[in-house]
A and B are shown apart, each in its own frame.
Chain A
Amino acid sequence: MALNVKPTRMELSNLKKRLKVAVRGHKLMKDKRDEMVRRFISYARLNYKLRQEVEAKMSESMQSFVLARAMMSNAEIEEALAFPAMPASIKTSESHILNFPVPKLELVETENKGYPYGFATTSSDLDTAVREFSELLPLLIQLAEVEKICSRLADEIEKTRRRVNALEYVMIPQFEEAIKSITMKLEENERGNLTRIMKTKEMINDK
């Protein structure tokens, strides 16, 4: 017997209660795990799609930037980009997936959509690169959000799965075994008692 319990009726009723809770908990956890996996799969697909899209668009933007670098001198590029644009800011909030908090990122739209440099010394390729990159930004933020959700969900699913397995293969069998052994022990005591009474009765009758 894995669980060390005294074979008493009190223990038996306690164990039965614990088994009930464990079975109920196991069912809930299992449902939670299944639903999480279902949601995770849709997020993972979205993640995959977004990643492909971002990588494609990024390489486009980078190509334009490489062209711009070729057309302009290093110093000119540095000068054009030395003054940063309005800092991009993000509004964060929290949403819940099955009571599990996940971050939600939202890009705050800035009014200043123009280029942060003058047009006199810059090439049009730089404009293209910057435009493409700024179009890419919302996608990048979405990708950041989805990737974070995916990695956190994956962690949580792993934890939940461990709990489900621990309940299913360790806790519940242990309880069942303990209950069985206590029941058997109690029945054995009962039988012993009965035999003793019968024996006593026989001895009294024999007198």
Chain B
Amino acid sequence: MSEKNGTNQIPDIAIIGDRDSILIAKAVGIGVYPETDGVKASKLIHELAKGGCKVIFITEQVYPLCADAVSKYKTEAYPSIIPIPSGGKSTGASMAQVVENVEKAIGQNILF
């Protein structure tokens, strides 16, 4: 799919996930990369990050599959890699991320 967006041109905002959930993002000018394989998605993340992509949205299904790539960029300023619910249904994986941050900073989840 990346060939449709043009491999040389890296968008500021990209979205990775299953084709059905993310196709709509194309209409608002987000770079759409349908990919559900963990290894390929990780490679894609590295490519996008190197190309100067600022925000990468990943559907919750693919997010845990490329945890290594995600954690690599976690402490860097860009890109910001954000899990989003796919198909309109949230699995709670992305909310767990928020809670994990709180636990890391405070020691215990006392907020939510």
A residues adjacent to B (C-beta < 8 A) = 37, 40-41, 44-45, 47-48, 51, 54-55, 58-63, 65-66, 69, 77, 81-82, 84-90, 92, 94, 101-103, 105, 110, 115-117, 129-130, 133-134, 137, 140-141, 143-145, 147-148, 150-155, 157-158
- Asked if B98 and A51 make an inter-chain contact with CB atoms under 8 angstroms apart, the answer reads yes
Taking a contact as CB atoms under 8 Å apart, the answer to whether B55 and A141 are in contact is yes
Q: Which of B20, B26, B94 contacts A85 (CB 8 A)?
A: B26
Known contacts A87-B12, A103-B78; A155 and B104 CB within 8 A of each other: yes
Give the nearest-CB partner of B111 in chain A.
A44
- Are A61's CB and B27's CB within 8 A? no
Given A37-B106, A90-B55, A158-B104, check contact A144 B80 (CB 8 Å): yes
Q: How large is the interface on B (under 10, 10 to 19, 20 to 34, 35 or more residues)?
A: 35 or more
Asked whether A153 lies within 8 Å of B105 as measured between CB atoms, the reply is: yes
The answer, yes or no, to whether B39 is at the interface (CB within 8 Å) is no
CA distance in complex: A145, B55 (Å): 9
CB pair A88 B12 closer than 8 Å:
yes
With contacts A48-B112, A158-B104 known, is A133 near B13, CB below 8 A?
no
Q: How many A-B residue pairs have CB under 8 A?
A: 140
Complex Cα distance, B29 from A45, in Å, reads 29
Question: Do the beta carbons of B88 and A92 come within 8 Å of each other?
Answer: no
Q: Quick one: which of B46-94 are within 8 Å of A by CB? A: 54-55, 57, 74-75, 77-78, 80, 82, 84-85, 87-90, 94
Instruction: Report the separation of the CA atoms of residues A61 and B55 in the bound assembly, to the nearest whole angstrom.
Output: 20
By DSSP majority rule, is chain A's interface helix, strand, loop, or mixed? Answer: helix
Q: Decide if A87 touches B78 in the complex (CB within 8 Å).
A: no
User: Can you give 14 A-B contacts (C-beta < 8 A)?
Assistant: A51-B98, A55-B90, A59-B85, A61-B88, A62-B24, A62-B87, A88-B12, A88-B30, A92-B54, A116-B27, A130-B28, A150-B98, A152-B75, A155-B104
Q: How far is the CB of A144 from chain B (nearest CB, A)?
A: 4
Query: CA separation between A105 and B13, bound complex, in Å?
Result: 11
**Closest Cβ of chain A: how far from B49's Cβ, in Å?**
13
Contact indicator A62/B28 (Cβ below 8 Å): no
Measured CB to CB, the nearest residue on chain A to B19 is: A78
The answer to whether residues A58 and B84 also contact, given A51-B94, A51-B98 and a CB cut-off of 8 A, is: yes
Contact yes or no, B29 A86, CB < 8 A: yes
Q: Which 5 A-B pairs have the closest CB atoms?
A: A62-B88, A59-B88, A88-B29, A154-B105, A148-B80
Whole-angstrom distance from the CB of B112 to the nearest CB of chain A?
6
Whether A105 pairs with B24 at a CB distance below 8 angstroms is no
Known: A81-B27, A116-B27. A55 touches B85 (CB 8 A): yes
Of the residues A45, A103, A137, contact of B111 by C-beta under 8 Å: A45
